[in-house]
Chains A and B, each alone.
Chain A
């Protein structure tokens, strides 16, 4: 490997962020598009290359750091959130990106995931959700739909899946967004929002595995259905969707419903206007929950609220303590308190 680290004061391009390693994902895998979206947005972050760290767990998606020409850490199964927390606490100036999959993040890594959300550590977490274990060759994950036949559920699963959005918001994540792998431009926009957000930013990408769960998102991303099965969440805009943009999400009592504009006296004014900044998790939870066949899937930034980040809070305590303490070095500490001298 040539040292790719030759630094020049020029505008970075996406090529600057591609490592020299051959990308070994299957042809047609959704991961390629996500990689492209990340490489697209990184030059625009305004961060120096050496100030970005990509951390991952284990699984197909977690090979990601090797394909990025940044600092990268490929950790162990499920533990990326813990490693990323350590990186960010060690140097809060770094922009930390965590790559994980549905198995890595919501099964073996579930505990670290919810606590990273709760603490609001400032990392960008991209969850590749293909609703299957790919690298171990096709076992069901916590995000596999009930009844799915897989290597380890030959009769179909008899358990219900997590919805990562509900899990994240329930665990107090201050940012949750969702995108689809076949729309890298939209993903880049979401990653930009993720970067701007202070605190944990969880983005679920509905990603297709060509081999083990091919077509699992087809009812959302298929050309014929996508306009009717995706509603784009744009802050301040009504949640209107459909090929003819004649459908919308209305809040009826304490429930969401799909309504048709122009039918039963419904006008655009009846449609719920998206507010990503509302503290209350209720509507965000309901939006994250929406699934076919009765609802479209919410795409875009669903939740983006302000709260103190864990890393800033720690740094603040450190600054306060430094300012107020009489002990400034180890010699001070060693000689403090109750001591005696023998002459």
Chain B
């Protein structure tokens, strides 16, 4: 299979597969990702599907998309503007106009244009002929008809034949990027094992799409993205939510404390619960509770009983868990709370990303109730962030909130498989059986943590709860001086975690004119935008915060020595407020967006250039 057209080498490419919910775009995208892995590219993917389960067919609300961003250089994001859009119907064009850039190649099923389809999509006329798409390269292909033509000898009905049209589209894209079809064939053979006719039908359609693109010379150029220079090792593709689940399991195995998850389904966090329910073979107890509060309370019960306990949720659920988080603070038990953030307030935008739970995570509890807050920066990174959250929780006897978001959770990335032996050790301060001096709130001098005395252990019986306790002995106490002391101890205990986390890194010149600050899931876009301006020779640096409470010890040094600081976040400026509160002498400008969408690299670059003027 040689390409007749010229092959152009590209650094990175964003492809968005888009069609009606029933068009199989998720599978198409995944199969293309598999071939991307095989080609040795770095890549990240993002599924973008409707919140509704069966939205009206053919409408913009019913459009389901899957984006793949792959490159020869490291890929930090799932991509924003797309280089190629595969659109299986008019609604898919309408839904994705925001993501097109001048010159985007739109591969469009021209058979999908009917009066009804245009009406459903909200088009008065065919957008491929009325000038709507003048800025783009529209490649019209009669995908539906050609699929049927390819399958005419298979004795299938019309509906069944059309189910394969996504494979025709995939064939075209595989041609466009000079991909071998083997990975897709292999998928058919595994997926449809024993159903030779089905395997053959799918292969036939895939090949037909590939050859059609070739024979009809659909494209003036085809493209190749060379293998990325990835570190040696074994890789897999992983979503943020699965990575978080695995990170927790890894921490459990490392610490020797059994994993307990108490959780309640909520978009976009449910996949962590679903994933953990699969691993009973690894002794994971994942418990679907009757509500969010029962989720965290069962986890606190399990934490008291010696489990590495976790609860997972999204914003509204975090609100419901507030009182129980205070209980975990008061009882000084290890607990991991994962908040996969979505658009808020209230039910908000359940399927869209936002970073607006930060202040709630930091302060959303009654009383002075400090706990550790850390944030994941990438989908694959969720593995390490979850592992770190569990490590800090257990080694410092405190609840830890891990902030993720819907884009990280559902997006996927290339993940270099770690060896368990290489992960840091986790050693919780377990109380010794029959210790004659045991006291529930006895603390070690270095970290101020109390010991973990687990029911079933002889000689350590004790009572804890939400009422204030006498430091040391742990008896109920309303003594004023004791409450002052305990409040300060709880605070100081969290502050000292700063001595157990890495220093804040600064990417670029530490005296750069503009310091760009970000945290959480915006890492990829912000870093890419900063790199772009660095290449242009601009005086810009980037500090991306993974640890938020406590902040790294050198945070102030990082903020020093710049003409301007800008804090970029997908909320109205929550981290900026937090930095100003902690470091009032530094002026933090803000760049914020709350559209349920990640930043685009273009808008970040524009903002940075503006600030650098």
Contact = CB atoms under 8 A, between A and B. Distances in A.
B223 to A, nearest CB: 21
B427 interface: no
A10 interface: no
22 contacts: A5-B438, A6-B459, A21-B476, A74-B463, A74-B464, A79-B293, A81-B294, A83-B298, A85-B301, A86-B298, A86-B303, A86-B305, A89-B287, A90-B285, A91-B306, A330-B246, A330-B282, A334-B418, A335-B417, A338-B34, A338-B236, A342-B231
Given A89-B302, A335-B417, A79 B459 contact: no
B609 interface: no
Q: Which residue of B232, B279, B281, B327 has the most chain A CB atoms within 10 A of its CB atom? A: B281
A88 B300 CA distance: 12
B234 A335 contact: yes
A89 to B, nearest CB: 6
B193 interface: no
A342 B230 contact: yes
A84 B476 CA distance: 21
A12 interface: no
Nearest to B279: A333
Given A50-B455, A51-B456, A71-B461, A339 B306 contact: no
A335 B238 CA distance: 12
B436 to A, nearest CB: 6
Query: Which 5 residue pairs are nearest across A and B when measured between Cβ atoms?
Result: A74-B465, A86-B301, A325-B281, A82-B297, A86-B298
Given A325-B281, A342-B231, A75 B236 contact: no
A94 interface: yes
Contacts of B246: 330, 333-334
Interface in B420-465: 420, 434-439, 455-465
Given A87-B455, A339-B417, A74 B294 contact: no
Contacts of B437: 3
Given A5-B460, A50-B456, A337-B236, A87 B305 contact: yes
Interface in A282-340: 314, 317-318, 321-322, 324-325, 327-331, 333-335, 337-340
B498 interface: no
A288 B473 CA distance: 44
B232 A75 contact: no
Contact of A329 (B282, B436, B456): B282
Contact of A1 (B253, B282, B298, B475): B475
Given A5-B459, A333-B279, A82 B235 contact: no
B210 interface: no
Interface string B370-387: 000000000000000000
Given A1-B475, A72-B463, A330-B246, A79 B302 contact: no
Contact of A93 (B279, B291, B418, B456): B456
A197 interface: no
Given A6-B459, A73-B301, A82-B290, 20 more contacts: A21-B475, A50-B458, A53-B455, A66-B476, A71-B460, A75-B300, A82-B297, A82-B298, A84-B301, A85-B289, A87-B302, A89-B260, A89-B302, A90-B260, A317-B280, A328-B281, A330-B420, A331-B420, A334-B250, A339-B236
B280 A318 contact: yes
Contacts of A90: 258, 260, 285, 301-302, 305-307, 309
A318 B283 contact: yes
B285 A89 contact: yes
Nearest to B327: A76
Interface string B461-491: 1111111000001111000000000000000
A111 B298 CA distance: 14
A115 interface: yes
A112 interface: yes
A328 B234 CA distance: 19
A83 B297 contact: yes
A25 B498 CA distance: 44
Interface residues of B, number: 75
Interface string A93-115: 11000000000000000011001
A111 B290 contact: yes
A84 B300 CA distance: 9
B513 interface: no
Contacts of A4: 461
B305 A112 contact: no
A340 B234 contact: yes
Interface residues of A, number: 66
A314 B458 CA distance: 26
Contact of A72 (B232, B289, B462, B475): B462
A84 B289 CA distance: 13
Nearest to B421: A331
A341 B234 contact: yes
A19 interface: yes
Given A5-B434, A72-B463, A330 B417 contact: no
B306 A76 contact: no
A48 interface: yes
A97 to B, nearest CB: 12
B262 interface: yes
A236 B346 CA distance: 55
Nearest to B297: A82
A112 B235 contact: no
A269 B420 CA distance: 71
A82 B283 contact: no
Contacts of B38: 340
Given A19-B463, A112-B290, A334-B418, A341 B302 contact: no
A177 interface: no
Interface in B386-422: 417-420
B144 interface: no
Nearest to B298: A86
A69 interface: yes
A76 B302 contact: no
B201 interface: no
A322 B283 contact: yes
A71 to B, nearest CB: 4
A321 B281 contact: yes
A7 interface: yes
Contact of A74 (B260, B298, B306, B467): B467
Most chain B CB within 10 A, of A83, A324, A329, A341, is at A83
Contacts of B250: 330, 334
